[in-house]
Amino acid sequence: MWYTIQRIPTYLTMKLFLDTANIAYVEEIASWGVLDGVTTNPSLVAKEGADFEKTVKAMGDLVPCVSAQVTATDSQEMIKQGEQYASWHKNVYVKVPMTVEGLKALTYFREKGIRTNTTLIFSANQAILAAKAGANIISPFIGRLDDAGQDGMGLIAEIMQIWNNYNFDTEVLVASTRHPRHIVEAAELGAHISTIPYALFKKLPNHPLTDSGIIKFQEDWESVKQ
């Protein structure tokens, strides 16, 4: 599906994040030289079963941006958790859910200079509120919207149109990506970041014509050598 954006801003590059709490996966993709950050969430952390603090510290040594999500629902408790996470590593971004309590915590973190990522964004109004509260990053979940019968990439188009109209310095991170075209379409819309699950990231370098092309080049080279 195509979406028309009237004025597309130019960024230095689109950032690619890995959506995981698995340190080995981060080491592997970081070794490709293309990884700009990592997003974790409580479900991903629970899946790995590893110590959260150790995981965040190890990932902070590998990439310049690691999102660590608060689990509290009250702003004061979010603030306590977020300050603790931020003390673990200079590359931590405190991930705060999009609620009224989350907005209060975002405002506090902005004043304290603690960087944030607002998660569970499902509407443009939520995106505007999080940006105005000072979020460094907002994370609209496109796959979950698609799963609910709505248009996830349409939300990204809407948000990027709004971002083109104003001077929000909040980066738009396309989350809950499910397939390779999501990454392309997010880039076409000028989204700043895509976070990508490991299995999907591993698909991105591949194309069958690349594979068959390499085999043909090798066969031709070997035939000349003989």
Residues at the contact surface with ligand E4P, assessed by CB under 6 A: 19, 39, 41, 119, 139, 141, 143-144, 175-176, 195
Least gap, CB of 208 to ligand E4P (angstroms): 26
Least gap, CB of 176 to ligand E4P (angstroms): 3
Least gap, CB of 19 to ligand E4P (angstroms): 5
- Residue with Cβ nearer ligand E4P (108 or 141): 141
**DSSP label of 1:** -
Rounded to a whole number, what is the largest CA-CA distance in the chain?
74
- Residue with Cβ nearer ligand E4P (179 or 216): 179
Residue closest to ligand E4P (Cβ): 176
Distances from the Cα of 103 to the Cα of 78, 109, 143, angstroms:
10, 10, 24
95, 104, 132, 225: which is the annotated catalytic residue? 95
User: How is 45-96 classified by DSSP, letter by letter?
Assistant: HHHHTS-HHHHHHHHHHH-S-EEEE---SSHHHHHHHHHHHHHH-TTEEEEE
- Residue with Cβ nearer ligand E4P (114 or 193): 193
Distances from the Cα of 67 to the Cα of 5, 38, 63, 166, angstroms:
29, 6, 11, 26
Active-site residue flag, 95? yes
**DSSP label of 202:** H
Least gap, CB of 195 to ligand E4P (angstroms): 5
Residue for token digits 């110590």? 51
- Residue with Cβ nearer ligand E4P (150 or 165): 150
Distances from the Cα of 222 to the Cα of 32, 208, 218, angstroms:
29, 21, 6
- Residue with Cβ nearer ligand E4P (55 or 176): 176
Least gap, CB of 123 to ligand E4P (angstroms): 16
Contact, 110 vs 131, CB < 8 A?
no
By annotation, the residues acting in catalysis are 95
